[in-house]
Amino acid sequence: MTQPTANCPNCGAKIVFRWSSSVQTVCEYCKSILVRTDIDLKKVGQVADLPPNSSPIQIGTEGIYNRQAFVAVGRIIYEYDQGTWNEWHLVMNDGSAWLSDAQDEYVVTFAATGRKLPPECRVGQRYTWDNETYTVTTITKAHYRGLEGELPFQYWDKQDVVFVDLMSTNGKFATVDYSDETPVLYLGQSVEFDDLKLKNLRSFEGWS
Amino acid sequence: MSASGPNPPGTPQVKSLNCPGCGAAITLRSFSQAVTVVCDHCHSILDAQDPRLAILQKFQAAVDEDPPLIPLGTRGTIRGAAYEVVGFQRRTIHVDGVPYSWHEYVLFNPYKGFRYLTEYNGHWNDTSILRSLPTVNDNVSPATVTYLGETYKLFQTTKAGTSFVLGEFPWQVRVGEAADVSDYISPPRVISSERTGKEITWSMGEYIAGRDIWKAFSLQGNPPEAVGVYENQPSPLSADTTALWLAFVGFLVALVVMFIAFESFARNEQVIQGFYSFNTSVRGEASFVTDVFPLRGHTSDLELTTTSDVNNNWIYLSYALINQDTGQAYDFGREVSYYHGYDSDGSWTEGGHTDSVAIPSVPPGNYYLRVEPESDFGHGTISYSISAKRDVPQASFFGIALLALLVPAGLITWRSMNFEHLRWAESDYAPAGSDDDDSGGANRPISLGNLFGKGSDS
């Protein structure tokens, strides 16, 4: 597979896209946030230093979900009152998914468009999507803390965000992202670390 | 790896920092996953996400108060994965003004995250956060939750406060903060809900023996002795009493079938009958022998019945059943006595006119009886008869077999009920009375009274 390449408009470094449909990426050298246009890459922002993070996942980590191979190509880092968490952008054969890693609790979700969403939620309320009933368990106020790698949409210069997490009684998981005017629903499920069969993970000092 | 760029993320290292309060060394064992870390020197709770470790709270504690049984930094293997003890807290509840405390250990693996060990009075649980919501059913009393098809019964609801902390926590821990904790049990598991504010955290614990913890963490010495019965402690009588009683019923049916078969196939054949009299006024040898009678068929029992018209008198018969062909003798003595009278309590009787005895396993052959009667001298003539039946089914053997089945089953069930009684005695939702079937019956493995009664009647 030939990967599309370009050069960073800021520092000239070579930019390699792991996924041909990526809309945005971050230059690994100068940390410029670059958006793809029809003709070239345009710098739209700059990533500040990333907070210390000990997710075992990194760009290039591969795994399997529902018998589909995936690779992590990018991430968004959020900060909340329990530290930071990562939304890893996974690329699969037929599109993208998200692997959320909050303190090593793993959830895989997919954007679910066209479902009816409430304008706001309270803890304990129930909603049914795709014949599955979810209960609101947590409402997390967070703020955008940084980016890495490739994303399927333009995303930078964010401030405060609100996520509503919902759980079902059989392991299904839903998140509504209320960051923008139009809320976005993600549906998926909690996953065990071992079940993801992850490769190319980070190593930790003192742990093998 | 080359594609990930010139600055691949570094290998996270265990960080050593200094407490901003007292300067003592602080180790961050869970890399950047901890939210709070405690300085065990000045008892400050620090913001582990802050590079400067801002002090969030200071609490009072004695030097070396409550040392953890598993020291921080110890590694062990839980469910096949290595975990390190990174945090420790004591939680306290008050029941009627009396404080009760238990300990929680925070365990960490950099890939699998956090899990917990709890310890109360030598009882341990391996606990992790649930990734799915249990269904609460509070229309029943006690309330239940259903999780993955299994039902858990509400055992207790308490307000649990944090009274001492050490090390790292993946949440904002504070000494003095309390949560409403409800425990639902289905031994050996317990599902707990912790409510702080609006949010509820569900976790599941599984009972684990102290010696298994000691083995998993390679600890010296012995774990503390487990005191009493804990809420989700599995009964040491691993036997499922329902299965036990099902097996009992199965054996009972087999026994009844055997009994009926023996009843219908037994020959029950009369082999001898004779009428005799014994003159007690005649001194001297009264013994005699009967005619020879054949015992046919396979080796089986011989039931010998002695009947006498004794009236306020007794007769004792020394028997010998002798095989004419081999000379083998079966010696036994039987007594028939009957007394009656009248006293201040009214009339009374003692004894009877008939005696039966079974001589087991008598081989076939030609036999005769040698009989020697005895009684008090000078009481006139006593009439008596002797009859013998071959191959008589012995109901008493089946009675003994039934008892042999019933006693262990009953004993195990009683001990198991006793264990459940001790368990629920600690619950807020203890059955009202141990004999009250409506509230307590459901907690018991089976409604025993009926089965027990049926068993002893048959």
Phi then psi for B297, rounded to 5 degrees? Answer: 80, -155
Q: Is residue B326 part of a domain?
A: yes
The C-alpha of A52 sits at a distance from chain B's nearest C-alpha, in angstroms, of 6
- Nearest chain A residue to B201 by CA: give it: A137
Q: Which of B7, B8, B12 sits opposite A204 (nearest CB)?
A: B12
Q: Which of B320, B333, B396 is nearest to B362 (CA)?
A: B320
- pLDDT at residue number B419: 86
Same domain, B245 and B332: no
Same domain, B86 and B173: yes
Q: Which parts of chain A sit beneath pLDDT 70?
A: 1-3
Instruction: With CB atoms and an 8 Å threshold, state whether B12 touches A205.
Output: yes
- Is any Cβ of chain B less than 8 angstroms from the Cβ of A99? no
Q: Which of A58, A105, A206 sits opposite B4 (nearest CB)?
A: A58
CA distance B157 to B427: 9
Tokens read off for B63: 């030097």
Residue B10: pLDDT over 80: no
Instruction: With CB atoms and an 8 Å threshold, state whether B170 touches A193.
Output: no
Same domain, B92 and B198: yes
Largest CA distance in chain B: 128
* B346-362 pLDDT, tens digit each: 899 999 999 999 998 89
Q: Which of B31, B48, B112 sits opposite A193 (nearest CB)?
A: B112
DSSP structure string for B256-323: HHHHHHHHHH---EEEEEEEEEEETTS-S---EE---EEE-SSSEEEEEEEEE--SSEEEEEEEEEEE
Same domain, B428 and B344: no
Selected residue with higher pLDDT from B237 and B291: B291
ipTM score of complex? 0.93
Q: Which of A166-175, B4-13, B421-430 has the lowest mean pLDDT?
A: B4-13
Q: Which of B380, B373, B409, B371 is nearest to B280 (CA)?
A: B380
Mean pLDDT of B34-47: 94
- pLDDT at residue number B241: 76
- Is any Cβ of chain A less than 8 angstroms from the Cβ of B17? no
The answer to whether the CB of B44 falls within 8 A of the CB of B57 is yes
Indicate the average pLDDT of chain B. Answer: 86
Residue B450: pLDDT over 60: no
Phi then psi for A145, rounded to 5 degrees? Answer: -120, -15
In the DSSP assignment, the letter for residue B3 is: G
- pLDDT at residue number B91: 95
Secondary structure of residue B106 in the 3-state scheme? strand
- Is any Cβ of chain B less than 8 angstroms from the Cβ of A137? yes
Same domain, B46 and B172: yes
Residue B453: pLDDT over 60: no
Q: Could you give the C-alpha distances from B364 to B262, B297, B301, in angstroms and in order? A: 19, 6, 10
- Is any Cβ of chain B less than 8 angstroms from the Cβ of A20? no
- Is any Cβ of chain A less than 8 angstroms from the Cβ of B342? no
- Is any Cβ of chain A less than 8 angstroms from the Cβ of B75? no
For residue B239, what pLDDT band results from cuts at 50, 70 and 90?
Answer: low
CA distance B268 to B262: 10
**Percentage of residues in chain B having pLDDT higher than 70:** 91
Q: Is residue B388 part of a domain?
A: yes
Structure-token match 């009958």, residue found: B273
- Is any Cβ of chain A less than 8 angstroms from the Cβ of B196? no
Q: Which of B206-210, B261-265, B357-361 has the lowest mean pLDDT?
A: B261-265
* B429-440 pLDDT, tens digit each: 766 544 433 333
Same domain, B111 and B71: yes
Q: Look at the alpha carbons of B355, B361, B363, B364 in this order and tell me if their dihedral is positive or negative.
A: positive
* Helix/strand number for chain B, H first, E second: 5, 26
Task: Name the pairing type of β-strands B329-343 and B346-351.
Answer: antiparallel
- Is any Cβ of chain A less than 8 angstroms from the Cβ of B11? yes
The C-alpha of B7 sits at a distance from chain A's nearest C-alpha, in angstroms, of 7
Mutate to test the interface with A, among B86, B133, B172 (most CBs of A within 10 A): B133
CA distance B27 to B59: 19
Q: Could you give the C-alpha distances from B367 to B274, B304, B321, in angstroms and in order? A: 15, 13, 7
The C-alpha of B205 sits at a distance from chain A's nearest C-alpha, in angstroms, of 17
* A102-157 pLDDT, tens digit each: 999 999 999 999 898 988 888 889 999 999 999 999 999 999 999 999 999 888 77
- pLDDT at residue number B215: 96
CA B102 to centroid of chain Cα atoms: 26
- Is any Cβ of chain A less than 8 angstroms from the Cβ of B136? no
What are the residues whose beta carbons fall under 8 Å from the beta carbon of B330, sequence distance 6 or more? B319, B320, B321, B322, B359, B362
**Percentage of residues in chain B having pLDDT higher than 90:** 57
Which chain B residues touch A199 with a CB distance below 8 Å? Answer: none
Q: Is residue B96 part of a domain?
A: yes
Same domain, B133 and B18: yes
Instruction: With CB atoms and an 8 Å threshold, state whether B133 touches A167.
Output: yes
CA distance B106 to B38: 13
- pLDDT at residue number B264: 80
- pLDDT at residue number B314: 93
- Is any Cβ of chain A less than 8 angstroms from the Cβ of B7? yes
- Is any Cβ of chain B less than 8 angstroms from the Cβ of A190? yes
- pLDDT at residue number A172: 95
- pLDDT at residue number A156: 78
Instruction: With CB atoms and an 8 Å threshold, state whether A83 touches B33.
Output: yes
Cβ count near B457 (within 10 Å): 6
- pLDDT at residue number A179: 82
Mutate to test the interface with A, among B111, B129, B151, B191 (most CBs of A within 10 A): B111
Structure-token match 């190593």, residue found: A203
Beta bridge partners of B381: B279
Same domain, B54 and B147: yes
- pLDDT at residue number B196: 84
Secondary structure of residue B453 in the 3-state scheme? helix
Q: Is residue B234 part of a domain?
A: no
Residue B65: pLDDT over 70: yes
Q: Which of A5, A69, A2, A79 is nearest to A41 (CA)?
A: A5
Task: Name the pairing type of β-strands B144-147 and B135-137.
Answer: antiparallel
Residue B2: pLDDT over 90: no
Tokens read off for B136: 């609460």
Which chain A residues touch B146 with a CB distance below 8 Å? Answer: 169
Tokens read off for B269: 């054949």
Residue B9: pLDDT over 80: no
- pLDDT at residue number B420: 85
- Is any Cβ of chain B less than 8 angstroms from the Cβ of A157? no
Q: Which helix (H) or strand (E) holds A174?
A: strand A172-177
Beta bridge partners of A92: A95
* B400-410 pLDDT, tens digit each: 888 888 888 88
Same domain, B279 and B145: no
Residue B61: pLDDT over 60: yes
Instruction: With CB atoms and an 8 Å threshold, state whether A104 touches B109.
Output: yes
Mutate to test the interface with A, among B31, B135, B169 (most CBs of A within 10 A): B31
Same domain, B295 and B418: no
Asked which of B343, B363, B392 is the last residue of a domain, the reply is: B392
Q: Is residue B224 part of a domain?
A: no
Which domain does B276 fall in, by range?
272-392
Phi then psi for B320, rounded to 5 degrees? Answer: -135, 120
Same domain, B93 and B185: yes
Phi then psi for B211, rounded to 5 degrees? Answer: -65, -30
Work out how many CB contacts closer than 8 A connect A with B.
108
In the DSSP assignment, the letter for residue B444 is: S
Structure-token match 């400050």, residue found: B44
- Is any Cβ of chain A less than 8 angstroms from the Cβ of B224? no
Same domain, B294 and B341: yes
Instruction: With CB atoms and an 8 Å threshold, state whether A82 touches B199.
Output: no
Domain count along chain B:
3
The C-alpha of B133 sits at a distance from chain A's nearest C-alpha, in angstroms, of 4
- pLDDT at residue number B440: 36
Asked which of B347, B373, B392 is the last residue of a domain, the reply is: B392
- Nearest chain A residue to B35 by CA: give it: A82
Instruction: With CB atoms and an 8 Å threshold, state whether A193 touches B113.
Output: yes
Q: Which of B32, B112, B132 sits opposite A54 (nearest CB)?
A: B32
